Structure 1
Amino acid sequence: MLMNNVSEQLLEAASLMGLGMAFVFAFLSLAILAITVMSRLAAEAAPAPKVAVPASSAPGLSPQKMAAIGAAIKQYKNNNKY
């Protein structure tokens, strides 16, 4: 009698495990499908990227100022090494 009860419980546990695994697989498959569809839609709707303005052509910064800023950063990094 005890063996029959254990067998029934093991069969029920296996069926619940299979049902749970199927549910998780279906949910993850739907999530992947939704993410793929949304990424394709977003790629079509996205505007073209703008061209970045080079730092040397920024208004108000001459090459001498850029060189001075670069030297100051280099000196700071050399003096504050960890």
Structure 2
Amino acid sequence: MDNMQQQFIEAGTLMLTGMVFVFAFLGVLIVFINTVLAKLAVKFPDAIAVPSSRPNKKSKSKSTANGDISPAVVAAISGAVKRYRTQHGHDK
């Protein structure tokens, strides 16, 4: 029984030691990456513009107030589909 307790204590100590080393390594890695990024930010000060995924509120919408597509857009799409089908032999 004493041998089993000793093994559990050794296993717990080994586990905690490993966890501390992993935590320390990750902390050093984060500090290193932030240092490198800070040095690169000085060399390249201009940020790259990333387009927003949100639609622009100022742009005109092609839909009506209730969310339906306007009749002009439906007519344009219908005409384009009809023309495509006629030109490519899909006309019924």
Q: Please, what TM-score do these two structures have when normalized by structure 1? A: 0.55
1:80 to 41, 54, 64: 64
Q: Distance in 1 between matches of 2:5 and 2:37?
A: 48
Question: Alpha carbons of 1:3 and 1:38: their partners in 2 closer, same or farther (altered >3 Å)?
Answer: same
Q: Distance in 2 between matches of 1:26 and 1:12?
A: 21
Q: Distance in 1 between matches of 2:15 and 2:6?
A: 14
The structure in which a higher percent of residues are helix is 1
Cα offset for 1:80? Answer: 2.8
Letter in 1 for 2:9: S
Structure 2 residue aligned with 1:69: none
Structure 1 residue aligned with 2:53: none
User: What is the root-mean-square deviation of aligned Cα atoms in Å?
Assistant: 2.1
Q: Please, what TM-score do these two structures have when normalized by structure 2? A: 0.49
| Alignment: residue pair count | 52
For residues 9-60 of structure 1, what are the alpha-carbon distances to aligned partners after superposition, in whole Å with 9 as ceiling and x for unaligned?
Answer: 00000000000001000001100111111011112xx6xxxxxxxxxxxxxx
Which structure 2 segments of 5+ residues have no match? Answer: 47-58, 68-92
Cα offset for 1:79? Answer: 4.7
Letter in 2 for 1:36: A
- Greater relative CO (CA pairs within 8 A, separation 6+): 1
Residue identity (%): 10
Letter in 1 for 2:44: A
Letter in 2 for 1:17: M
